[in-house]
Every structure is written in C-alpha cells, then in structure tokens.
Amino acid sequence: MEKINETHILVLKEHNGIFQVASIPIDDSFFIINEIKASVDNPNKTLLDVQSEFLNNFQSINNAYGYLYPYAYSSSYVSGAIKPKKYTYAEYKTELDNRVKNKVIGENINIDKIIEDENRILKQSYASLCTRYIKQQMLYKAFQNAANDSSCKMYSRELIGWSSFDYAITDDIKVCIYTNLGFGYASYFTLSISYKDIIIAPFSHIAKYYNACMTDIIRCTRDYYVEKDNWYPMFELVKDFVNHSLEDPKSFVESYIMNEIDEMIRCLRNIMANPFAIINMFKNQNNNLDYHRLRFINPMSNDEKQLYSVYPIEMPTIFKSEKLSQAVNTLKRLEELQKIHSQINVYIEEILNMIIELSPEIDKTIKSIQVDIERLVVQKKPKEELAESLQTQIDGFVSELNNELEKLPKDADWKRKEDVRKQFEERHPIYIDTKNRLQEVKDEIYEINKKIYSRKSLVERLFNSNNNLAPYMASAV
C-alpha cells in the first residue's frame, strides 16, 4: 500500500502539455534495515555489530534530515533524524557498564540477565535511530530527484516547522504550500493557487458548508487537516485547475473566480428569500463530505439541529445573520478583484443591501428573546423564594438531628448513628417530604435556568453578528 512520503512521493508532472499526478517510489531500504534488525535479534551480537551493519552497508549523505517519519504531521515536539553516533569500543563498554550498574540493586541479582537485557535495549535504541535516519535519507533522495526533473512541476515536499514551498506551474499560475508540521495544534497544511498574484479563494464555501470561517478561508485556496493523505486531494485540485486553464488562462481564471462568487451570491439570495430550504439542505447534508479533510468548516451539529426544533422562529434569523457575517469577511478580497469583472462591484452592493434589509429583523428577534428571558426570570423568582424557605425548614431539622447525634457516646459506630437517623426520619416524616419537595423545586429552577441560558446564547450570537455587520451597514447608508 502506497504511503505518501513513506513509500512514495507525490509529483505533478507535465507530459505533452498536460499535467498529471503521479506517485514515485522511494528507493527500497529494506535490505539494510532487515540486516540491522537481524543483528538486534541475534543475542550473540552487540551494539557495535548493529553499528557495523549500518556503517558498512549504508552511505550517509547528510548529518541530519528534518522530515516527520515515522510521526504523524500533527504530532508535537518532533525533531529531525540525526545520523547515529559512532561508538568506540570504550564508549560502548562504558555505556553498557553504567546501565548495568544502575540496575544492580539488592540481593540475588542475575547479573547475566541484566547484561543481556541492557545489551538488547542498547541495540534496539540504536537500530531505531538507524531506521529513521535511513528512511529520511531515502526521502531526501526522492525529493532531490524530483527537484532535478524539469518535467516535475511540484512534489510533496515536507519539513518540520514553519515552511513554504513555491512552485511556478506556468508563467502565470503559481502554487505555494504553507506548512507547520510537527507542532500539534499549531500545525497547518495550506494550499494557495494564484494567477498573476491573485489568490484563487474559495468564496463558494459559504454556500457549500454550514459554518465557514471565511476570514481564514479566503486567505488561501484550501486549508487541509494536517494529514498525509491530504496530499492526494491537494495535488488533484492543482492538476484539474491547471489543465482547465491551459487553453485560455485569463478567461478560465476570470470564469473560475466569478463562478465561486456567483455561487456565494446565489446562496445568500436564497437564504434571504427562503432560509428554511437552505437550512433543511444543511440538516440533511452528508457530514462525510469535505468536513473531515478541510479546516475552518463545520457541519450542522446535532445540538444545532435541536435548536432549530426548539426555536423555529428565532434560529432562521440567526442563520441569516451568521451567513451574512461570513460574507462580509470576503468584502475586502472582493474589492481587490473588481478589476477582474465589473459585476463584482454590483455583488458588493447587493451584500450591503442584504445587511440593511436584515438589520430590523435582527433587532426585533433580539427584543423578542429578551422579553422571553424576562418572563422566565419572573417565573423563577417565586420558586427561588420557595426553595429558600424549604431549605430553612430543612436546616432546622438537621440541627435537631445533629443534637441527637451529639448525645451518642463518642465511640458510637456508623450503624448506631444510622439507626438514630432512621428513627428521627420516622418521627418527622415532614422532614423527608420537605427534602423531596426542595429537590423538585431545585429541578424546576434548573430547567428554567437552562432555558434562560439557551436564550441568552441566542442573543449573544445575534449581538456578535450585529457587531460584525454594523460597520458595513453604516457604509451602505
């Protein structure tokens, strides 16, 4: 099975004017790795024998390589592969003696077993360093071959840490892959395609995905999850884009960008006219689409679907306001693209008019929810007063019970104390009834608080959208 940058590298090659994606095998290193493993498995051999297998059968090129193998791209605290240290016999003997000395503690020690175990651990550790170094050097050679191949326009190059790899696919079309690999949550894996320095941004993500963080999305062409398998969709996207643009690059790029913007505007129009149809589309959307490979997009969650059921009037307004908030984050980029097509300016004006149209609806919905919150607060107040009164009664019973328990001998066991409690409860059934009633009231208060919190979260979402839209509404006026 092919594994990108483990068994193969991925390349974009030009053949007779057509661009194709191909996987190129990385040179086989199984022979030397198997020889090293055989020395590790042989109890009669030492670290120096493993070292000899490595030095005699493998020609090193560089002292270190900064690739990820064998770690995942999203791993943390990853360092590169360093050429294993060359031990002298004295250094090996000192290392082994120190390790054995640290394990010889106590009596009845099997010194031969300890020496055998520590020798095996040393061999395994050294072999692991050798294997990683060998694999990374093979990857380095594959990258070098791709870089020296004039027909190879792009390859799946990687490095630990912040990196950018630029590829001039044609005179006008350039690709840049931005990565930060091996840094856990800070890792990223981003593709940017540009035509004459104009970034091809995916405006249509607003229409395709329920939640699209357009501020981040329009900075690039695609932002993938940090996984090796995403080299495939990245290269396929570049291949398709370039091949479709070959006949008339200027016309194709203009058409491509306008199609992206057209799809966004059509979606916004449909949302403003009939939000329920678009909401239902997202409800039924297959969450296995791009949500598992692209960052900055999210499907409609089950909790969100529940909100639409509980708040069928308010949620469509929230949906419209948040989609428009996503759209306004594209306005600066749209303004930069006005030179491509005059229609873009018309679209900008249309988005601004949508904001003006929606503003009264947002204000009305906020006021309606706030009235509902006030009603719930009023409904909660007598219950809180009742709970306080019931708690006072219970505190009185608890004080009386504690007085009885204090009269017991100091050495009374838990069973004796439990008997006193049971007898007290039998004499004061109202104590149990009051506790049960208090729990019922607390449960009722809890449910009201849940409703208040839920409604406040809706208001917060509307306020956030309003804050995002307000500057543009002012400019539209």
Between CA 224 and CA 290 the distance in angstroms is 9
Between CA 319 and CA 221 the distance in angstroms is 25
Between CA 428 and CA 435 the distance in angstroms is 12
Place of tokens 């030179």: 339
Share of the chain above pLDDT 90, in %: 75
- Do residues 257 and 330 touch, judged by C-beta distance below 8 A? no
pLDDT of residue 474: 65
pLDDT of residue 316: 96
Q: DSSP letters along 69-115, please? A: TTS-TT-SS---EEPPP---HHHHHHHHHHHHHHH--SSS--HHHHH
Q: Confidence band (pLDDT; 50, 70, 90) for 294?
A: confident
pLDDT (tens digit, 9 = 90+) per residue, 445-467?
999 999 999 999 999 999 999 99
pLDDT (tens digit, 9 = 90+) per residue, 183-219?
998 999 999 999 888 889 999 999 989 999 888 888 8
Strand intervals (E) in 184-240: 188-195, 198-199, 211-212, 222-224
Q: Confidence band (pLDDT; 50, 70, 90) for 477?
A: low
In the predicted structure, residue 476 carries a pLDDT above the cut 60: no
Q: What tokens does 401 get?
A: 């019970």
Between CA 314 and CA 454 the distance in angstroms is 12
Between CA 199 and CA 219 the distance in angstroms is 8
Whole-number average pLDDT of the chain: 92
CA atoms within 13 A on the CB side of 470: 8
Cα 283 to the center of its chain, rounded Å: 22
Q: Confidence band (pLDDT; 50, 70, 90) for 300?
A: very high
pLDDT of residue 105: 75
SS3 43: coil
Q: Confidence band (pLDDT; 50, 70, 90) for 1?
A: confident
Q: What is the DSSP letter of 300?
A: P
- Do residues 37 and 50 touch, judged by C-beta distance below 8 A? no
pLDDT (tens digit, 9 = 90+) per residue, 361-395?
999 999 999 999 999 999 999 999 999 999 999 99
Place of tokens 């149209």: 357
Domain residues of the chain, as ranges?
8-153, 161-300, 366-474
pLDDT (tens digit, 9 = 90+) per residue, 396-408?
999 999 998 888 8
pLDDT (tens digit, 9 = 90+) per residue, 41-68?
999 999 999 999 999 999 999 999 999 9
Between CA 405 and CA 416 the distance in angstroms is 9
- Do residues 238 and 175 touch, judged by C-beta distance below 8 A? yes
pLDDT (tens digit, 9 = 90+) per residue, 336-351?
888 878 889 999 999 9
- Do residues 177 and 234 touch, judged by C-beta distance below 8 A? yes
Instruction: State the Cα torsion 72-77-83-89 to the nearest 10°.
Output: -120
SS3 269: helix
The model's pTM? 0.78
Which residues, in sequence order, are bridge partners of residue 163?
Answer: 179
Q: What is the mean pLDDT of residues 19-32?
A: 94
Q: At what angle do helices 275-283 and 314-328 cross, to 10 degrees?
A: 90
